[in-house]
Amino acid sequence: MIAEKMKAKLEGGSEIRRMFEEGARLKKIYGPENVYDFSIGNPDLEPPVEVVNALKELADNPVPGMHGYMSNNGYESTRQAVAAKRSAESGIDIAPDAVCMTPGAASAMNDVLHSILDNGDEVIVNAPFFMEYTGYVENHNGKVVIADTDDRFIPHIRAIEEKITPRTKAIIINSPNNPSGVIYSEEFLTELDHMLARQDHLIHVISDEPYIDLAYDGRIVPPTLKYIHNLIICFSWSKSLSLPGERIGYTLVSPRHTDYKELTAAIVISNRSLGSVNAPAIWQKVIERSINAKVDVSNYEKRRNLLYANIIDAGFDSVKPEGALYIFMNTPKGMTDEEFASKCASYNLLLVKGASFAKPGYMRLAFCVSEQTIINSRRAFFKVAEDLGLQHRASL
């Protein structure tokens, strides 16, 4: 007999499982090259050469004791490397003790939420958002409160402020955003900080930053440390170094956070007590040696351009993503997401419905698939558009 709360989670997870199974079924029938599965956000580039070299070097010249237990916040030398990088980017002096190494961003967020939430506390998120946040918040008996964004997926300070209650403990921001690809501006971050400073109780800003290295068209993602005072960063190398299966990331508390001392200590305890104990030792050592490496972002940018062109040229509408790995296109007017998804599936085009990101009326497409898949999918987008009576904007 499983817990009641798990029964609800089993139900909720079935949509993504169903998509996965549908993709596998179609690939068996039509061949993988004829199925355009944009549903899964699994970074497909290989890790950079610096990562591979660091792994080899560690295997050839093992540091004695390198597989042993360590401090729960990780190796001092790795935290030092992270702190130095973040200090240089933001101009804010970060100490190694601000950092706690974790198995990825998911673990980092659970450590943070466990450290700050009392039963019934509220956490504001901006729709559309990565729905795993709901599970993370509920793991620690908190409640997600959704603030909407505008039609370009920009959050508005007033919409966030309207959601604040005496129980609001934190707001989660995510830029570049999954699923919209939007990068939050310096102005937004500054205004958010000012608005929160006007409140009569402390509200933490949890900045989930796994996509900060994936920005396109020469865009620089504004460093949140520079703009937000009561900031806790959750980061991972899942995307920057294409290491999602290896589970490596960190939490970082801003030295300007009012509760800096207590919070950094609480996060380390959470990391241990929630079961991570410490982040994987080998990967901390690898990260330290390849701290400035990142995957070839131009590769993702090329695929974003190709997929975006398919969508727009066929006659659909979409905001152009500035970063991350996704396009969040509009569902054509007069159709439900279910109708559009099933029309797309009839041409082997697999997308994820906006409801999976608390924003119906849109579809998410992950462009971390092969360039050839994106090229091959163009015809399918055009066919769907023709069936719906949309005017193409370019030729096939």
**Residues between 211 and 230 that touch ligand PLP (CB under 6 A):** none
Annotate each residue in 35-54 with x if it binds ligand PLP (CB under 6 A) or - if it does not, as one string.
Answer: ------x-------------
The Cα 201–Cα 221 span in angstroms is 29
CB of 121 to ligand PLP, least distance (A): 20
User: What separation in angstroms does the CA of 139 have from each of 115, 117, 133, 142, 370?
Assistant: 12, 10, 10, 7, 35
Of 105, 268, 311, 380, the one binding ligand PLP (CB under 6 A) is 105
Tokens linked to 123: 């956490």
Residue 135 or 244: which CB sits closer to ligand PLP? Answer: 244
Pairing of strands 122-126, 143-147: parallel
Pairing of strands 231-236, 249-253: antiparallel
Of 73, 115, 134, 174, the one binding ligand PLP (CB under 6 A) is 174
The Cα 281–Cα 286 span in angstroms is 9
Decide: 234 and 208 in contact? Cβ < 8 Å.
Answer: yes
Of 97, 111, 208, 213, the one binding ligand PLP (CB under 6 A) is 208
Tokens linked to 184: 């939050």
Decide: 390 and 332 in contact? Cβ < 8 Å.
Answer: yes
Residue 249 or 323: which CB sits closer to ligand PLP? Answer: 249
Annotate each residue in 109-148 with x if it binds ligand PLP (CB under 6 A) or - if it does not, as one string.
Answer: ---------------------x------------------
CB of 244 to ligand PLP, least distance (A): 5
Amino acid at 198: R
Q: What's the burial of 28, exposed, middle or buried (CB within 10 Å: 0-12/13-18/19+)?
A: exposed
* Residue showing the smallest CB distance to ligand PLP in the complex: 236
Residue 179: asked if its preceding bond is cis (omega within 30°), the reply is: yes
Residue 36 or 235: which CB sits closer to ligand PLP? Answer: 235
Annotate each residue in 256-295 with x if it binds ligand PLP (CB under 6 A) or - if it does not, as one string.
Answer: ----------------------------------------
CB of 243 to ligand PLP, least distance (A): 9
Residues lying near ligand PLP in the complex (CB under 6 A): 41, 104-106, 130, 174, 178, 208, 210, 236, 238, 244, 249
